[in-house]
């Protein structure tokens, strides 16, 4: 193995883009075969990036939600094709807008609560929420949610997800793909099935069993002191600038709401420990199993077909499809990673990759919001340079 090309690439990301701090961990067969930290974690650029730094992981949370849900599935407590209404009764009689959502604005269109609509012909199923095919949006400021919070500002996860059910769907469940709040719905389902709060479930059934104490939905004051400086990308000036913490975009809909799609904050070591376990058949380096190997392999298969796949691939992801809440590589080229590699990324640039065929995991993290170059250029480049390094 020789990762000098990867090191050279990571070292020049500040000069090329202005990324002031990053961390990258590669594991194979439970061994950390590569770890490289670049830059600083504080505003004054005086504190080097370290293992103690915490990052807002945003949508990298989604993989943890899927692990939680699939634990319940393999225990026979739920089925992928169960209607959501089996667990959340308010989801029984959903409506679908009459208009064509794509001509109304596509990915940018969020309906109002009074949008002309009709009753859905299909039930929203768990697999629809997991595969972003339920007809939901990512509108956390929807009419229904705002009405709930006006009445109950401290609404919890179940209550907010119940409010989501009052909004009309964009399309018949299972017919299209739209990036959405499906994982948040799954978080509420996890709470109902397990009887535990979403964050407690992950803590008790994923993090603690693997010996992780640095992944959380609710930071302590000590953890906040180690939170890496956040940055943002200005599209007009084409520059990255530091963002004050009180201006950092979050998904804290209410003090008691925990987003199954974006609530996790943690260290690179903590997240890497989970993806390493998944890459090794569901068993952590401490010998504890969090998923059966056959369950992990279910993540390596795509779910989307037809119009769903066309929706997913608009603009990017040409070598990928979407599976059980994660991207899935479905073509051998371009890129060096094998077919079946899966994972997801986050709004501030985090990137997780799981390769259970070769027992390889990658976790890359930076802290820059609104910087879309990371998804189309940096993440694929990091991925490919990892596999090049592994092959040398």
Per-residue pLDDT tens for 97-119? Answer: 999 999 999 889 999 999 999 99
Residue with tokens 């975009």: 249
pLDDT at 147: 98
Taking 90 as the threshold, does the pLDDT of residue 5 lie above it?
A: yes
pLDDT at residue 235, rounded to an integer: 92
Angstrom CA distances, 3 to 34, 40, 334, 341, stand at 8, 22, 20, 20
**Claim: this prediction has a pTM higher than 0.75:** yes
pLDDT bracket for residue 250 (50, 70, 90): confident
Domain ranges of the chain: 4-72+197-391, 80-194
Asked which of 85-94, 331-340, 357-366 is least confident by mean pLDDT, the reply is 331-340
Phi-psi region of 195 (alpha: psi -120 to 50; beta: other; left: phi over 0): left
How far is the C-alpha of 11 from the C-alpha of 3, rounded, in Å? 12
Q: Indicate whether 375 pLDDT > 90.
A: yes
The overall average pLDDT reported for the chain is 97
Report the pLDDT value the prediction gives residue 251, as an integer from 0 to 100: 81
Work out the pLDDT band at 252, boundaries 50, 70, 90: confident
Q: Is 84 helix (H, G, I), strand (E, B) or coil?
A: helix
> From the CA atom positions of the chain, what is the Rg in Å?
20
Report in angstroms the alpha-carbon separations of 216 from 22, 102, 359. 20, 37, 26
* Interval 273-318: pLDDT, tens: 999 999 999 999 999 999 999 999 999 999 999 999 999 998 677 8
CATH number of 4-72+197-391: 3.40.710.10
Exposed (0-12), middle (13-18) or buried (19+): which is 342, by Cβ within 10 Å?
buried
- In angstroms, rounded to a whole number, what is the distance separating the alpha carbons of residues 170 and 136? 6
Q: Give the separation between CA 75 and CA 152, rounded to whole angstroms.
A: 35
Distance CA 347, CA 262 (A): 9
Query: Would you place residue 177 in the very low, low, confident or very high pLDDT band (cuts 50, 70, 90)?
Result: very high
DSSP-derived secondary structure letter, 132: T
- Per residue in 10-45, pLDDT (tens digit) is 999 999 999 999 999 999 999 999 999 999 999 999
Crossing angle of helices 379-391 and 4-11, rounded to 10°: 160
Instruction: Give residue 185's pLDDT band: very low, low, confident or very high (50, 70, 90).
Output: very high
Which residues make Cβ contacts (< 8 Å) with residue 330, sequence separation at least 6?
A: 302, 319, 320, 321, 339
Query: Shortest CA distance to 56 belongs to which of 257, 241, 216, 201?
Result: 216
pLDDT at residue 392, as a whole number:
79
Q: Span 80-194: which CATH code?
A: 1.20.58
pLDDT of residue 316: 72
pLDDT at position 249 is: 81
207 to each of 6, 50, 81, 211, 346, how far by Cα in Å? 29, 21, 27, 6, 19
SS3 158: helix
Please report where in the chains the tokens 């809909």 appear, as a residue: 253
Q: How confident is the model at residue 333 (pLDDT cuts 50, 70, 90)?
A: confident
How many C-beta neighbours within 10 Å does residue 246 have? 5
Mean pLDDT of all residues in 179-184: 98
């Amino acid at each position: 193995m020789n990762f000098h090309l990867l090191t050279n690439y990571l070292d020049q990301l500040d000069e090329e883009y202005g990324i002031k701090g990053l961390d990258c961990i590669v594991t194979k067969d439970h061994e950390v075969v590569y770890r490289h930290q670049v830059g600083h974690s504080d505003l004054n650029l005086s504190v080097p990036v370290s293992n103690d730094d915490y990052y807002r992981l945003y949508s990298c949370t989604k993989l943890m939600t899927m692990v939680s849900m699939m634990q319940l599935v393999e225990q026979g407590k739920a089925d992928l094709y169960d209607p959501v209404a089996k667990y959340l009764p308010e989801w029984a009689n959903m409506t679908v807008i009459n208009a064509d959502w794509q001509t109304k604005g596509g990915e940018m269109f969020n309906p109002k609560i009074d949008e002309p609509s009709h009753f859905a012909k299909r039930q929203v199923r768990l697999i629809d929420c997991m595969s972003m095919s339920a007809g939901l949006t990512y509108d956390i400021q929807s009419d229904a949610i705002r009405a709930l919070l006006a009445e109950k500002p401290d609404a919890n996860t179940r209550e907010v997800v119940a409010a989501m059910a009052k909004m009309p769907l964009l399309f018949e469940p299972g017919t299209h793909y739209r990036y959405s709040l499906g994982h948040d719905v799954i978080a509420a389902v996890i709470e109902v099935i397990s009887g535990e709060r979403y964050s407690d479930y992950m803590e008790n059934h994923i993090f603690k069993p693997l010996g992780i104490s640095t992944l959380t939905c609710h930071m302590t004051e000590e953890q906040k002191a180690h939170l890496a400086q956040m940055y943002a990308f200005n599209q007009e000036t084409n520059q990255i600038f530091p963002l004050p913490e009180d201006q950092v975009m979050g998904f804290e809909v209410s003090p008691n709401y925990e987003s199954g799609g974006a609530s996790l904050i943690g260290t690179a070591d903590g997240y890497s420990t989970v993806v390493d376990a998944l890459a090794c058949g569901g068993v952590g380096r401490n010998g504890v199993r969090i998923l059966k190997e056959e369950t992990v392999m279910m993540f390596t298969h795509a779910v989307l077909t037809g119009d769903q796949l066309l929706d997913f691939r608009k603009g990017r992801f040409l070598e990928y499809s979407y599976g059980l809440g994660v991207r899935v590589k479905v073509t051998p080229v371009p890129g060096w990673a094998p077919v079946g590699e899966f994972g997801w990324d986050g709004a501030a640039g985090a990137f997780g990759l799981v390769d259970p065929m070769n027992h390889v995991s990658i976790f890359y993290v930076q802290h820059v919001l609104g910087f879309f170059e990371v998804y189309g250029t940096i993440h694929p480049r990091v991925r490919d340079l990892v596999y090049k390094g592994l092959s040398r």
